[in-house]
Amino acid sequence: MNHDRVVRIGNASGFYGDRFSAMREMLEGGDLDYVTGDYLAELTMLILGRDRMKDPGLGYAKTFLRQMEDCLGLAIDKGVRIVANAGGVNPHGLAVALRQLAENLGIDAEVAFVDGDDLLDRVEELGLGTPLTANAYLGAFGIKTALDAGADIVVTGRVTDASLTVGPAASEFDWSYDDLDALAGAVVAGHIIECGAQATGGNYAFFTELPQMGHLGFPVAEVAADGSSVITKHPGTGGAVTVGTVTAQLLYEVGGPRYLGPDVTTRIDSIELGQAGPDRVSVGGVRGEAPPSTTKVSLNHLAGVRNEITLILTGLDIEAKAALFRQQFRAALPTVPAEMTWDLSRLDRPDAETEEQASALLRCVARDPDAKKVGRTFSATAVELALASYPGFAMTAPPGNGTPYGVFEPGYVDAAVVEHRVALQDGVVEPIPPSPLRTEVPDDTPDETSDGTTDFGPTTLLPLGSIAGARSGDKGGSANIGVWVRNPDHYAWLDETLDVAVLKELLPEMADLEVRRYRLPNLNAVNFVIEGVLGRGVAENVRFDPQAKGLGEWLRSRPVPIPVAYLQSQEK
């Protein structure tokens, strides 16, 4: 084996709805061996499940099919192979559509698909309730098998996001389940590039320091035979690849030091990053452990129908205006929904120079299993009060119909009961056994408090974000906030200063929730997992920020005592 060889894997989609042109940009922008596309999230599985309910032939990401119509010939001509989880809840249907597309275009392309993740027909047997969708998170070896057999395009259902990168690397270097460190290294590379431009400056705390932020390039992972990698992007594309942008993405939607997957448990606390050149970050030192004996299952349930109204309250007596409307509205409703959640956002300020700055927003979200209770009548009732309520009555939108919503919950089954398989172009179907190394993985131990005994010298009260970055995101009903400092000399201060108690002081909305804290010193970071902050998931919860994408930025805006010496020694 040539240990100097690397496989170049570029990502062209971080979610269903990402930049359509990214597929062509990645294929035309530089040399690649593979292009991956991540189209699935917990909410996306619900959306695709509803598509399948309307038409059994659907349930996949239609955007990907249109991208292939535009780019399939280009990919084949350049010898670039495509791996995407765009199959959603119907990878077979997408494979059929792709084969028909290739025939129509006169292109010789072998299409394989990976399935077995869909457990909907077995939910009763497996004790998973009565969900709309039930999809196990598969690993990378089905993708590897398809590529080993010569597939030009591999589409999957619900595999782990990182498997889209691990599969090509495992195929190129013929890894087996025993190659735990190499697999873990590829998982890290896959986690970094899976969300597209988030690795090249998108959603980055220090974005004002980056060049060309108008049209960001998508990331590329150059993976070596030992699983180490270099993260980069095509020349001349916007944004940047730095230790900071890579650190931010590594902290996205993670928990403790152990990152569980179906093929390997990756030790996030072992990762070593280095700036290897302009827009080149080296990733090494990653250790892998045996994977867990169970496989996570994404379960989505249709929970009912929701509707909402938002009122504008301007000027004086904001609280009294809100109280009046709430009392009038509830009394006027023909039937009261099962759940009504009110939020008054005091965006107003005294003696405002614009009307908008003098206004607050009162929002009511209603949910009920019965669509009639939260249909158009619900929002129309608010309009009927327009001339009979508080002074300055206004709404942000006209009456609207209710919309169905779902809830997400994770399930777990023995990995051995999942029938992971790959279907090749010639009709051969190969079963993919689970890792023979799977075991009971110990829980990570949170480190919620610190000694806080070090004297860091004189301090001044400034926003945490003056020296620290953060990245936050959702995982079902929970959220994480990863906080890091760019100067390793500042980590001891961060570690001692920002514990669970301080986090709850800075973010009072979290005061009554379970919060776990994990140390990640190799990344100069601490990571917080906040349980239940998103209720029963993105589609169900009614928070102002339903996916917790802004939690980290809220935290960065809060003042903390920062050592004066650090303000002169920050990394520029």
d(CA 108, CA 129): 43
pLDDT of residue 60: 96
Bridge partners for 125 per DSSP: none
The CA radius of gyration of the chain, in Å to the nearest whole number, is 25
Mean pLDDT taken over the chain? 94
pLDDT of residue 572: 41
The secondary structure element, H or E, covering residue 9 is strand 6-11
Say what the pTM is: 0.93
| Distance from chain centroid for Cα 199 | 13
Q: Dihedral sign for Cα 154, 61, 158, 549, please.
A: positive
Beta strands 459-463; 429-431: pairing state? unpaired
Please name which of 462, 477, 490 lies closest in space to residue 532, comparing C-alpha atoms.
Answer: 477
d(CA 547, CA 537): 8
d(CA 33, CA 168): 9
User: Over the stretch 2-18, which tens digit does the pLDDT of each residue have?
Assistant: 567 999 999 999 999 99
d(CA 214, CA 228): 30
User: Over the stretch 156-174, which tens digit does the pLDDT of each residue have?
Assistant: 999 999 999 999 999 999 9
pLDDT of residue 568: 72
Phi and psi at residue 164, to the nearest 5°: -65, -30
Please name which of 298, 11, 301 lies closest in space to residue 160, comparing C-alpha atoms.
Answer: 298
pLDDT of residue 303: 85
Q: What's the whole-number mean pLDDT along residues 327-342?
A: 95
Q: What's the whole-number mean pLDDT along residues 450-469?
A: 91
- For the chain, what are the domain ranges? 6-297+411-431, 299-407, 459-568
pLDDT at 268 over 50: yes
User: Over the stretch 243-257, which tens digit does the pLDDT of each residue have?
Assistant: 999 999 999 999 999
Assigned architecture for domain 299-407: 2-Layer Sandwich (3.30)
User: Over the stretch 493-546, which tens digit does the pLDDT of each residue have?
Assistant: 999 999 999 999 999 999 999 999 999 999 999 999 999 898 766 556 667 788
Query: Which of 32-41, 60-69, 176-185, 396-405 shows the lowest mean pLDDT across its residues?
Result: 396-405
- Cα atoms in the Cβ-side hemisphere of radius 13 Å centred on 540: 23
* Residue of higher predicted confidence among 285 and 57: 285
Please name which of 277, 347, 365, 350 lies closest in space to residue 546, comparing C-alpha atoms.
Answer: 365
d(CA 106, CA 292): 45
Total count of residues recorded for the chain: 572
d(CA 318, CA 348): 9
Please name which of 78, 41, 86 lies closest in space to residue 60, comparing C-alpha atoms.
Answer: 86
